[in-house]
Structure 1
Amino acid sequence: MAHRKNDRSAIWPLACIYSQRFNAGKVDREATLQEFLKSVTETIRTQNPAADPENDHFFKILACGYYVMYLKNPAVNSIIRTEPQRRFFLRSLLQYIRIGFSMASYCIDAQGCAIGTLTPIDSLINHSCDPHAATFICSGTIKVVLLRPVRRGEQIFTSYGPVWWEEEPSNKTPFTCRCVYCDRGPAGRRWRALIDRDFPLGAVDDLQKLHDIALRMDFNSAAKLNALKQFIKKHARHYPERNFGTVLDSYRMLLVAMNRTDVEALERARAWAEDN
């Protein structure tokens, strides 16, 4: 959404009203709000989210829903009264949704439900289709677990959806990914060529043992997780390789299931304590 001059003229009266109604103490909230709005204007003008035609109609429906809902609130309706103010408010809601979708990180829980969140941690751990870590969102907490070793000084990445070991990723990012897997240049082609290497015989034998352990009913999840972890640590030098990617995916999915089990046990214990 491009910046429009009438947006600024529409919002300044709201800043004055905001200052009059909500000013507390000696804080110059009008000046603070105006500086904030100016910075947002500059951000919107220079940092537009990537276009997402497939979902933009859904974003517009959401914006309309929020628009109607918020204007039913007397406090909001009392400060957004003119047509320019209403147009600005609706466009702001749409822009907020577009930016939020671009910046959100998503994960799939053990029950197959997609969860998205906007958090400060996303500025520390960015997206890559070749992630080092997995992110889990559950019961108000975010956990980041390393999937494979990280070299000293290397930036840690997680995935906001697609990963290289999925043949046809079901998730697509609403932005242009520039990770090594998505790189269309010589460096990216060399990296992708490594995926189809032959796995060494010793690693193939260990992979078969790992498969046998996964099928054993007398091994609990912790034992299976440890076996996956030992395999990843032992054969990290063969990364990236297609079979290695399959192991990483199994490790990630088992972590998801165990995390959910732990959270459910904690919630049951908390509920029991409250009842007794």
Structure 2
Amino acid sequence: MATDVHGEEAGGLVFHPLDQFEVKSLFSDGPVNFISITNSTLWMAIAVLCVVLLFVMGTRKRAIIPTRTQSIAELFYGFIYKMVEDVTGHDGVKYFPYIFTVFLFIFFANFLGLLPLSYTPTAQIAVTAVLGFGVFIAVTIIGFVKNGASFLGLFWMSDAPLVLRPVIAIIEVISYFVRPVSHSIRLAGNLTAGHAMIKVFAGFAAIAAVAPVSVVAIAAVYGLEVLVAGIQAYVFTILTCIYLKDALHPAH
């Protein structure tokens, strides 16, 4: 996460907290296009590499008495597996690999973004939208494949008074299609806000009179961002499980 501070300009302190989210090409000065390798691409690749190192390289020599790396990998695995099983039921366990992969990518991308001079790809709505709409399309397809037309029963509240059912159905349909939008914006928004706050406080640190307060504020917000990085990965994953449960059991 970039925290460079611009100096005083034209008699006032100038800093740009959103500059750290700019997507830049790594190998050219021209505009970014579909084939450009950008800072976002680099840090997404590093996140994937970390996952591979932890779960492939780190667990090659599995043992009854686990190493630290194996213990961490098993902790992640057990935590997400239990979440999937508890929320979606036994039917949802077969989709555990996909959910686990999404969680790990978000988790590592979030925490890598807290390193100095790094980049946070999950603060980009383009990245989180792909994740959110990917989940939305996947669970919708699963819902129709598993339940056929009865999947539409998810939107029809048979327990409600008959006169209210059409109105509730419209609300439920709108709510359903808003899911991927809120799913993706929630993740990107929380990360963007925290990183921007750190940059703002870092900018005020250039003023000697408030520098000590700014340093304390940066430390406090950074500690909060550590929590946010883990919590947002958890929230995205558990919402995915909830949406999957609705697809598997629309009548519940």
Question: Structure 2 length normalisation: TM-score?
Answer: 0.27
Of Structure 1 and Structure 2, which has the larger fraction of its residues in strand? 1
Kindly indicate whether structure 1 or structure 2 has the higher relative contact order, using CA contacts under 8 Å at least 6 residues apart: 2
Of Structure 1 and Structure 2, which has the larger fraction of its residues in helix? 2
